[in-house]
Amino acid sequence: MDINSRQSVADAASQAAYSMMRWYAGNETGQIPGKLIDTWWEGGAMFMALIQYWHFTGDTTYNDEVTVGMEFQAGNGDYMPSNYSNYIGNDDQMFWGLAAMTAAELAYPEAAKGYSWLSLAQGVFNTQVQRWDTSACGGGMRWQIWSWEAGYTMKNSISNGGLFQLSARLARYTYNETYADWATKIWNWSTAGQTPLVDTQQWKIGDSVSMSDNCSTVDHTEWSYNYGTYLSGAAYMYNYTNGSAEWLSAVNGLLGSTLSKFAGSDYGNVLTEDCETTELCNRNEILFKGLTAGWMAFVALIVPSTYNTIMSSLQTSGVAAAASCVGYNNNTCGVKWYTKSWDNQNGLEEQMSALNIFWANLIMTNNASLYAPVTSRTGGNSSSNPTAGSTDPVSTTKKLAAISTADKAGAGILTALFAAVIIAVVYWTVAGSE
């Protein structure tokens, strides 16, 4: 791949997109549109990557799959589809909301029938802010939606950072101060809690805190997408506020720590997750640096002072990724880019991350601003529905009412009646056999 040739980079992105879609069966007879094998949230990440690919290349090859899949999984306009709503987490739902927000910002064609992209993003926002939890830690989003899910008592960076990013993007697109207020609220909680997830002194972001100790201890495991989602949110708030010094400070601090931690000299300044060095990345973690690369690309477009720094990092990582996509003699991509050779890994996530770093390199143009995300006043035409998702009965978590004496008595009566029925059935069965 010639990093200085727009066509060469576009060709690399095209190859990665094609290889990624070979793992998708949702457009086949009898399959479920938008659903990937053994994962739901990655469908949102995949469609988001394809929307961005379309935006920078003009290639409409996959637009039908994107539109059908995103509408099919929309549920009641908030990405809480009945087939999966009982086990998805806040972060899972969030990625579909970010995909819809991306479609609105990039003026991706609206579906002929169904929900508008903006309303779907609003639907996710509306359902999630109702889950803001003040029962411990002074606020914050839980990782999981339902009490039966492992991680329900954790509050993590990707769930809070994801809602922060979505709120900031909705504020910029709609010019509605309510979204900006929520973005500020989430940022303040994340940075100034009992033990903040986002350390604004060193600009480090931990993975999660636990409600069991009132969020007093941070899990300091670091992932690039936690950094990327807060960086993106801060950038959108900077743009929304017409250049606030406070938000610029956050952008610069987070960008510096992101590049230092995940694209440092130890790995040739190529984007790398810690788990890659031990070859222990799971399929979710393989996606993280690709998502971060995509968010960084848009940061460069809406915070112009970061453009050169981000472009340099994206180009270094893009060249390395291309050099590693040589598997099976058909451009199969692996996990590790910094080796600049194929690592014998192969999968949907590997191709998706490569696609993200390739399209992200397409911001290299003298007219970069033409590719920046739009707003409702600068070319955005997606219809707004500020109340989307607010009436969906599965969109919010509600505490169960305390069990009363009458409830207990009623349960006892029903148990006795059920036992009597069983005894009678057994009696008549035995009597009949005699």
Q: What is the pLDDT of residues 25-72, one digit of tens each?
A: 999 999 999 999 999 999 999 999 999 999 999 999 999 999 999 999
Answer yes or no: do 390 and 428 share one domain. Answer: no
Answer yes or no: do 388 and 410 share one domain. Answer: no
Buried-state track 366-390, b at ≥16 Cβ within 10 A, e below 16: eebeebbbbbbeeebebebbeebbb
Q: Which residue has the tokens 């968010």?
A: 295
Those residues with Cβ within 8 angstroms of residue 383's Cβ, 6 or more apart along the chain or in another chain:
110, 116, 118, 119
- Assign 8 to helix, strand or coil: helix
Q: What amino acid occupies position 229?
A: T
The pTM assigned to this predicted structure is 0.91
Assess if residue 1 is contained within a domain. no
Answer yes or no: do 242 and 338 share one domain. Answer: yes
Answer yes or no: do 415 and 315 share one domain. Answer: no
Crossing angle between the packed helical segments 117-129 and 90-105, to the nearest 10 degrees: 150
pLDDT given for residue 67 in this prediction: 98
pLDDT given for residue 366 in this prediction: 73
> Which tokens belong to 397?
């978590």
Crossing angle between the packed helical segments 90-105 and 41-57, to the nearest 10 degrees: 20
Q: Which of 59, 48, 52, 51 is nearest to 11 (CA)?
A: 59
- Contact between residue 96 and residue 73 where contact means Cβ atoms under 8 Å apart: yes
Low-confidence residues in the chain, pLDDT < 50: 398-434
Assess if residue 203 is contained within a domain. yes
Residue 215 burial class via C-beta count within 10 angstroms: exposed 0-12, middle 13-18, buried 19 and up = buried
Residue 330 burial class via C-beta count within 10 angstroms: exposed 0-12, middle 13-18, buried 19 and up = exposed
Ramachandran region, residue 268 (left: φ > 0; alpha: ψ -120 to 50; beta: rest) = left
Give the Cβ contact number of residue 218 at 10 Å: 21
Answer yes or no: do 312 and 326 share one domain. Answer: yes
- Contact between residue 376 and residue 384 where contact means Cβ atoms under 8 Å apart: yes
Assess if residue 206 is contained within a domain. yes
Answer yes or no: do 270 and 232 share one domain. Answer: yes
Overall domain count for the chain: 2
Dist CA 68 CA 33 (whole Å):
7
> Which tokens belong to 137?
């830690």
pLDDT given for residue 10 in this prediction: 97
Dist CA 221 CA 72 (whole Å):
35
Start-end of H helices in 22-116? 41-57, 63-72, 90-105
Answer yes or no: do 135 and 199 share one domain. Answer: yes
- Domain of 274, in residue numbers: 6-400
Answer yes or no: do 309 and 424 share one domain. Answer: no
Dist CA 416 CA 393 (whole Å):
33
Secondary structure (DSSP) of 127-147: HHHTT---SSTTS---SBSST
For residue 200, give the CATH number of its domain: 1.50.10.20
Give the bridge partners for 154, in sequence order: 210
Dist CA 158 CA 142 (whole Å):
10
pLDDT given for residue 397 in this prediction: 53
pLDDT given for residue 107 in this prediction: 98
Phi/psi for 210 (5° steps) reads -115, 140
Answer yes or no: do 131 and 207 share one domain. Answer: yes
Answer yes or no: do 412 and 302 share one domain. Answer: no
Q: What amino acid occupies position 21?
A: M
Q: Which of 64, 237, 229 is nearest to 158 (CA)?
A: 229
Phi/psi for 404 (5° steps) reads -95, 170
- Contact between residue 364 and residue 356 where contact means Cβ atoms under 8 Å apart: no
Answer yes or no: do 40 and 130 share one domain. Answer: yes
In the 8-state DSSP scheme, what is residue 108? P
Phi/psi for 154 (5° steps) reads -105, 145
Answer yes or no: do 409 and 377 share one domain. Answer: no
Between β-strands 204-205 and 198-199, what pairing exists: parallel, antiparallel or unpaired? antiparallel
**Predicted confidence (pLDDT) per residue in 135-166, tens digit:** 999 999 999 999 999 999 999 999 999 999 99
pLDDT given for residue 395 in this prediction: 65
Assess if residue 101 is contained within a domain. yes
